[in-house]
Amino acid sequence: MPVDFALSAMAKRSDRCPARWRRPFNRWLEGVEAGWAVPLLLACFVGIWTVYLAVAYHGAGLHPDVLETWTYGRHFAWGYPKHPPLMGWVTGAWTSVFPLTDWSLRLMAMTNAALALWFVDLIARRFVSGHKRLIVLLLLMLTPAYQFHAQRFNANAVLLAVWPLATYCFLRAFETRAPLWAIAAGLAASLAMLGKYYSIFLVASFVLSAMIHPSRRAYFTSGSPWISAAAGLLALFPHLHWLATTGGEPVYYAATHVRADFLTALQDAANFLMGLAAAVGVSAATWVMIAGYRMRRLSRDLVASDPNLKLIFHVAIGTIVLPVVTSIFLCTDLPSLWALQGLFLLAVPIVCSTRYRIERFYTVNAALLVAGIAIAAAVIAAPVHALYRNSHGYEEGRSFYHQAADKLTRLWHEEMRTPLSIVGGNDSLGLAVAFYSSDHPHYGGSFAHQYSLALPRQVTPERGWAALCFADQDHCLEWTEQMAARAGSYVRREFSVQSSLFGIPGVRRSLVAFMVAPLREPGGAASSLANDVAPARTRIHRRWNHGVAGPARLDALTGGIGRMSPRRSQL
């Protein structure tokens, strides 16, 4: 307690007569209501963390999740395998403007995080003004959600911006009950569902929170909730139609998280809560330092706060309790990273419900903490991470994506003398070749080991295809070799690649490439290309008949075809 009072006295003295080095920060705090302080904060946030990603992952490829979203976004559709289509739409729109480079998609990920914080500020400014708005953003920047979670742009990360947008629109629709805001709320909720079906917990929390609000009668007897529901369903209709006509593959993928073990589901639910507690640990400690002895007023302030602020707090409770209850009841997985996009639902009511003045002293200190962590990450942690990964590699093989794509493209051009159109095999390698190869082949269809994304109609097997597997992935090698053998003749090449960081040699790994030649029409220029490919076909036939894959191996492969998954057996 004496420490709290000492800090409080120091804060008051600092506000009355700030040190010289604090004055630029105080000037920044004064710019919140002028409209430039928050954009400046977000611009610095994007810049420093984009630099961090560039340094930490120098020499390595993008995460497979990011490459997957780009693969989705190559062609517009109302749905894709595994997840709803929003992440593919966002990446497709981004890459239609920005180049296909690592820095471009890293910038996209951090821009998405900054946009999320901007929407959070839209909510906070409805209840507080001045530097309290900045405290909300600074506390969120101390969580891993807006940097490390955001950099893996996928179905989870895309919700960072969508959830606060949906919450803001719902709040405005509840407050005003105006038709336009009701439509906006419905569209934003449907956008969240198109990001990931997990957003059903957000939508359900909206409904439940509205039902216990003092103004529930006025809201539900107005046209606002029904307009929102109609607008949301109308916006979701194309995706629902796609699900009904294509077999609902994303729904089946979501069902793979269902377990039959109740104790495991119970443990997952506990880990979910502990993971969220760990994610907000630094932010919570910072807020305790800011509030000090005033923390005892937290529950009283929340009870006496604006009813619409309590509405947001109830939504926060719903987005935590509903997944836990559902997970235990259905016995499903429940990683805490699925809920990181909802952390703002706690930060906003806790900070904005305070009925006491927060000295600038604390806001400046929080800003210095955020800046210090970001600079230390970019200057110290990022180079150390890059050096470590160069010598130890990644489980998914990101260290070799560039080299593997270049090598396979070179081999294909040497053997087939035509652009590479289709790539398959290991998922992460296939996605990497599609992105990093100069030919940008399409990945998916029947040639992917695990993937099922449909290829464009103009991309057919007659154009030939290639596949990559790591040499130690026996299942991928066996399955891909079966596919290549059924296609007729093929070329198999094994090669090794080594990571490198500023000339420092790193980890090495072996890969196996399978290349199936394009089918050629008789006569014309295409026939001459077929003749060029003939020696390669002869070589592989000789290897097949002279020990590389003998009769016993052929029988094993033929017998193994019946053991493939239903989707593969249709080939």
Reduce the secondary structure of 422-443 to three states and give it as a string. EEEECHHHHHHHHHHCCCCCEE
Q: Are 452 and 474 in contact (CB under 8 A)?
A: no
Q: What is the pLDDT of residue 527?
A: 35
Last residue of one domain, picked from the residues 325, 349, 378: 378
Domain that holds residue 63: 39-378
Q: What is the pLDDT of residue 380?
A: 97
Give yes or no: residues 359 and 502 share one domain: no
Give yes or no: residues 419 and 513 share one domain: yes
Residue 74, SS3 per DSSP: coil
Q: Spell out a b/e string for 463-497, using b for 16 or more CB atoms within 10 Å of the CB, else e.
A: bbbbbbbbeebeebbbbbbbbbbebebbbbbeeeb
- At 300, the amino acid letter reads R
Give yes or no: residues 372 and 417 share one domain: no
The tens-digit pLDDT sequence of the chain (571 residues) is: 555 556 666 766 676 677 888 888 889 999 999 999 999 999 999 999 999 999 999 989 999 999 999 999 998 999 988 889 999 999 999 999 999 999 999 999 999 999 999 999 999 999 999 999 999 999 999 999 999 999 999 999 999 999 999 999 999 999 999 999 999 999 999 999 999 999 999 999 999 999 999 999 999 999 999 999 999 999 999 999 999 998 888 887 777 777 667 888 899 999 999 999 999 999 999 999 999 888 989 999 999 999 999 999 999 999 999 999 999 988 888 999 999 999 999 999 999 999 999 989 999 999 999 999 999 999 999 999 999 999 999 988 999 999 999 999 999 999 998 999 999 888 999 999 999 999 999 987 677 766 667 777 778 888 899 999 999 999 999 989 988 888 878 899 999 999 989 889 999 999 999 999 988 644 444 333 334 433 433 333 333 333 333 333 333 333 333 333 333 323 2
Last residue of one domain, picked from the residues 378, 407, 422: 378
Q: Are 374 and 48 in contact (CB under 8 A)?
A: yes
Last residue of one domain, picked from the residues 378, 406, 423: 378
The domain tally of the chain equals 2
Give yes or no: residues 471 and 364 share one domain: no
What DSSP element (H or E) covers 121? helix 102-124
Q: Is residue 389 part of a domain?
A: no
Question: What are the structure tokens assigned to 455, written together?
Answer: 């290829």
Question: What are the structure tokens assigned to 271, written together?
Answer: 């880990």
Give yes or no: residues 170 and 239 share one domain: yes
Give yes or no: residues 451 and 349 share one domain: no
Question: What are the structure tokens assigned to 276, written together?
Answer: 């969220």
Q: What is the pLDDT of residue 221?
A: 95
Give yes or no: residues 471 and 340 share one domain: no
Question: What are the structure tokens assigned to 325, written together?
Answer: 């209850």
CA distance 46 to 484: 45
Give yes or no: residues 482 and 441 share one domain: yes
Give yes or no: residues 273 and 328 share one domain: yes
Give yes or no: residues 197 and 167 share one domain: yes
Give yes or no: residues 332 and 475 share one domain: no
Strands (DSSP E) found in 287-425: 422-425
